[in-house]
């Protein structure tokens, strides 16, 4: 039986960041990693961005082995016996640990009763499958108007591919962007040649003669060579549940990223943590959170006593538009929009009870720290006080 001082379940960005955090404090302790993905940890954001724009395929690797980590890849941890501190995997192997990290991320939501071959875009192999189809000139349907759908549709269109987007809401990124911006993006995508079916849902997808037929509720059947679905993720909490840990919208952790059993930690997309800046518990599905939280989990596993107080930011690129966002950017909040050039450059403030809870920096750069400082201010703010507060670049 393999035995480790530190065992990490999950082979994503959080897992890699945690291994590096452990190493920073403990140069000698043994670290094992069990990852279901057959590949060692890699950066996910380039899968919908840089790799489509000529970034070298090899640039994505995190080189986790260089931190002296034993990798057990293509294996899924199935059981955690918290009393005996053992993890069992799907090939019958058992691993002992002193400290355990669950960095199991999330699984893409799937369409019920859909045929094989739909790409639920999340992994390197999903990218490779999409790339191969794109290189063969395939026509694509992209289901979903969130981050993944919007980014992959833009990437494919920039390769000259025919793309139809099926978007359930009124516009793109409707959960985050104010309605007018979200609607603007629909036209912006149309102008770039994407067929936009908005306020539409895919009732059923059918495989037919090596192609797909997407049955859109109002438009009717749309025939394509490939379907990519970006329908969000469901956090992978089964292991934690099976181990008897507290689980809600994710694995519950305290400020030090410990679960309800203190020798077991959780971090990244799967972890629900207390955010002092937002004054509530939250779960974040973004890179900065994976990197920073993973690192702090690793440091704490190796004996540090560091609270996770970071307010993560995230970013995205949509054709030649780009943005960074901090905090609780929820379109249901009151928004104050401060455009330098409408829909092209500016700042959106998200308010709740007069307090700034989130900031969207639209083609506006180097303001993330200033946005964090603003969110830390107690307020209350009146809308006119926010105009010009964070200058567009």
Enumerate binding residues for ligand FAD (CB under 6 A): 9-15, 34-37, 44-45, 47-48, 76-77, 103-106, 121-122, 148, 236, 239, 268-269, 285-288, 290, 314-316
SS3 377: coil
Least distance CB 90 / ligand FAD (angstroms): 8
Contact 37, 122 (CB under 8 A): no
Least distance CB 217 / ligand FAD (angstroms): 27
DSSP state of 268: G
Least distance CB 87 / ligand FAD (angstroms): 9
CB closer to ligand FAD out of 350 and 355:
350
Please work out, in degrees rounded to the nearest 5, the angle formed at the alpha carbon of residue 225 by the alpha carbons of 219 and 227.
Answer: 65
Contact 143, 166 (CB under 8 A): yes
At 181, which helix (H) or strand (E)?
Answer: helix 179-191
Least distance CB 290 / ligand FAD (angstroms): 4
CB closer to ligand FAD out of 47 and 176:
47
Edge-to-edge, what's the strand order for the sheet holding 211-216? 202-208, 211-216, 220-224
CB closer to ligand FAD out of 36 and 392:
36
Contact 255, 307 (CB under 8 A): yes
Q: How many whole angstroms separate alpha carbon 18 and alpha carbon 29?
A: 13
Least distance CB 220 / ligand FAD (angstroms): 30
Nearest position to ligand FAD, beta carbon:
105
- Residue 208, number of CB atoms within 10 A of its CB: 10
CB closer to ligand FAD out of 47 and 348:
47
Of 213, 215, 212, nearest to 204 (Cα)? Answer: 215
At 320, give phi and psi (nearest 5°): -100, 15
CB closer to ligand FAD out of 314 and 349:
314
Least distance CB 72 / ligand FAD (angstroms): 9
CB closer to ligand FAD out of 216 and 316:
316
């Amino acid at each position: 039986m393999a035995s480790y001082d530190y065992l990490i379940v999950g082979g994503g960005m959080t897992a890699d960041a945690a291994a590096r955090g452990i190493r920073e404090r403990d140069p000698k302790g043994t670290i094992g990693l069990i990852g279901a993905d057959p590949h060692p940890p890699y950066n996910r954001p380039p899968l919908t961005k840089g790799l489509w724009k000529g970034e070298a395929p090899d640039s994505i690797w995190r080189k986790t082995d260089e931190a002296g980590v034993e990798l057990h890849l293509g294996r899924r941890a199935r059981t955690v016996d918290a009393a005996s501190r053992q993890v069992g995997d799907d090939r019958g192997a058992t691993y002992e640990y002193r400290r355990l990290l669950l960095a199991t991320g999330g699984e893409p939501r799937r369409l019920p009763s859909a045929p094989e071959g739909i790409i639920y875009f999340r992994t390197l192999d999903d990218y490779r499958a999409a790339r191969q189809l794109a290189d063969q000139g395939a026509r694509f349907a992209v289901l979903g108007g969130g981050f993944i759908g919007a980014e992959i549709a833009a990437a494919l269109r920039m390769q000259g591919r025919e793309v139809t987007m099926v978007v359930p809401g009124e516009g793109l990124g409707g959960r985050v962007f104010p309605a007018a911006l979200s609607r603007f993006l629909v036209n912006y995508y149309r102008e770039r040649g994407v067929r936009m079916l908005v306020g539409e849902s895919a009732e059923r997808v059918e495989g037919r003669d090596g192609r797909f037929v997407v049955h859109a509720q109002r438009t009717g059947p749309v025939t394509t060579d490939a379907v990519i679905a970006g329908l969000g993720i469901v956090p992978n909490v089964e292991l934690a549940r099976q181990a008897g840990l507290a689980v809600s919208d994710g694995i519950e952790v305290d400020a030090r990223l410990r679960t309800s059993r203190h020798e077991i930690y959780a971090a990244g997309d799967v972890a629900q943590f207390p955010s002092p800046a937002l004054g509530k518990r939250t779960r974040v599905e973004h890179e900065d959170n994976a990197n920073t939280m993973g690192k702090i989990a690793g440091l704490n596993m190796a004996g540090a006593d560091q609270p996770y107080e970071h307010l993560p930011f995230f970013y995205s690129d949509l054709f030649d538009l780009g943005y960074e966002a901090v905090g609780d950017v929820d379109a249901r909040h009151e928004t104050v929009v401060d455009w330098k050039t409408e829909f092209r450059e500016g700042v959106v403030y998200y308010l709740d009870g007069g307090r700034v809870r989130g900031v969207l920096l639209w083609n506006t750069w180097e303001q993330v720290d200033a946005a964090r400082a603003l969110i830390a201010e107690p307020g209350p703010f009146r809308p006119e006080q926010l105009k010009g507060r964070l200058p567009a670049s």
